[in-house]
Structure 1
Amino acid sequence: MQLSERGGLELWRKAVTASVRSDAPDLTARQQAVLMSVALMPGPHTVRGLAEHLGIAKPAITRALDALERLNFIRRLPDDSDLRSIFIERTPDGMTYLRSFARLVLAAASGEEAGGKPAAKRSNAA
């Protein structure tokens, strides 16, 4: 699929619009980037590694991880070889969220209306 800039933005708009109409939590762009990095890139994942990969400060990663952990989208595990470090892993709930979002993107790409009627929204994941 070849997209123009406008086509790419329109695809993203449709997917995000369908997402905010759903009952899924509203994630910030930073939270989505962190979750997708943890879920789709080979690990192990650390705060330092995510900060370097995304080019943002470690405190910003920590705040995003805090929100994602409250939603049970990621979990933190101690690094047994270095107790000062922790690993970040995706959870089944996090993968369910991403699969659902992927379906919204695919529906938008095929021109379908994704999400149907607006559903009751859960609270934001700020």
Structure 2
Amino acid sequence: MGKRPDYTPLTGARGIQNALRVLEGRWKLVILFQLFGGKVLRFSELERAIPGISQKMLIQQLRQLETDGVVARIVYHEVPPRVEYKLTDWGQALCPALDALLLWAEAAPAETRARLLDEDPA
């Protein structure tokens, strides 16, 4: 791995904003957590594993993640057609970062956690 760049407050903030844009969307993190650990899932398996998501929304979120290089779409040319999804190496590398973010969120003061739970859109 190369030398880590020297970030200024501005470039550091921009870098994190760009990273968060990749993860924006109500369902993207749920999709990622379904695929962590090297799982390879068919579209129908993802759909069943994520209650409340519409087919249209799942397609849209998967396409965005694929465009951003986080998810790989594997098409098998057979009848009936089979399509599977898995994380790219770069997508899998998100796992430790999201684990750290989860631990950070769990360490929030009780009143902050309670407020965040009250605002949970799910």
Fold conserved between structures, TM > 0.5:
yes
Matched, 1:63 2:60: yes
Contact 1:77 1:86 in 2 (8 A): yes
Q: Is 65-74 or 43-52 further displaced after alignment? A: 43-52
Distance in 1 between the 2:35 and 2:79 partners? 20
Distance in 2 between the 1:43 and 1:105 partners? 21
Contact 1:48 1:58 in 2 (8 A): no
Q: Tell me how many residue pairs correspond in the alignment.
A: 91
Matched, 1:72 2:69: yes
RMSD: 2.6
Give 5+ residue unaligned stretches, structure 1.
1-20, 112-126
TM-score by length of 2: 0.61
Percentage identity across paired residues of the two chains: 14
Distance in 2 between the 1:74 and 1:87 partners? 10
Counterparts in 2 of 1:93 and 1:44: CA distance versus 1, 3 Å:
closer
Partner of 1:25: 20
* Larger RCO (alpha carbons 8 Å, 6+ apart): 1
Which of structure 1's runs of 4+ aligned residues deviate more than 4 A? Answer: 80-83
Find the structure with the greater CA-based Rg: 2
Q: What letter matches 2:72 in structure 1?
A: R
